[in-house]
Amino acid sequence: MTRFDATEPNDRRKLYVDAITAHRERGSAFLTLEVDDSELGGDELGTEETDHVDGDRKRNSRETTGPDPELGTPWIQFSDGTINLDCTDDELEELKAVLGEFPAFKISELTRPDDAPGTNAHVSAKADPNRIGQFLDAVFRRVYGLPAEFRVWVVAL
């Protein structure tokens, strides 16, 4: 592997595939991907105001976008056909929605440690590297609420 980060959506998916392939060829314990935390303070993340219609009434609400800062920088690990990630309850619900679009992927274990915020999820990922890469990018984008262009790093291989 010659590069360890990517920003553009297509480049990120290629990076995921290359990293998964290198991880498997090396027989390493796990592969870890992490969002560049300088991406988390940008203008595209934070809160946004939206208008919602309830019946005939229009109301304004504030909706948080981006990952929950309480859990720190978003990361995903991959090992032996399993994807490992931490998420809040809201992020877990979005993860379940993403899983509905990827039928080969299933939650195999959920752990809610007493001393840590959020939930640790293990997702069974019995698929080819391309499909896993698509899933990983969907998780970063939708579960963690990241913008279309964000930098992700391969931090362990």
Q: What is the residue-wise DSSP string for the chain?
A: ----EE-SHHHHHHHHHHHHHHHHHHT-S-EEEEE-GGGGGSTTSEEEEEEEEETTEEEEEEEEES--GGG-S-EEEEETTEEEEEE-HHHHHHHHHHHTT-TTEEEEEEE--TTSSSEEEEEEE-S-HHHHHHHHHHIIIIIS---SS--EEEEE-
> In this structure, is residue 83 part of a structural domain?
yes
**pLDDT value at position 72?**
80
What's the whole-number mean pLDDT along residues 14-38? 95
Q: Look at residue 36 and tell me whether its pLDDT is greater than 70.
A: yes
Neighbours of 137 (CB within 10 A): 20
Residue 95 is assigned to a structural domain of this protein: yes
- pTM score, whole prediction: 0.81
Check whether 71 has a pLDDT greater than 80.
no
Query: Does 64 fall in a domain?
Result: no
Per-residue pLDDT reduced to its tens digit, 110-129: 999 888 788 999 999 989 99
In-domain check, residue 54: no
Q: Tokens in use for 12?
A: 């990120």
**CA separation for the pair 69, 80 (Å, rounded):** 29
How many domains in the chain? 1
Domain hosting residue 118, numbered range:
5-45+72-156
- pLDDT 10s digits, 83-114: 999 999 999 999 999 999 999 999 999 999 88
Mean pLDDT of the chain: 84
Spatial CB neighbours of 115, under 8 Å, sequence gap ≥ 6: none
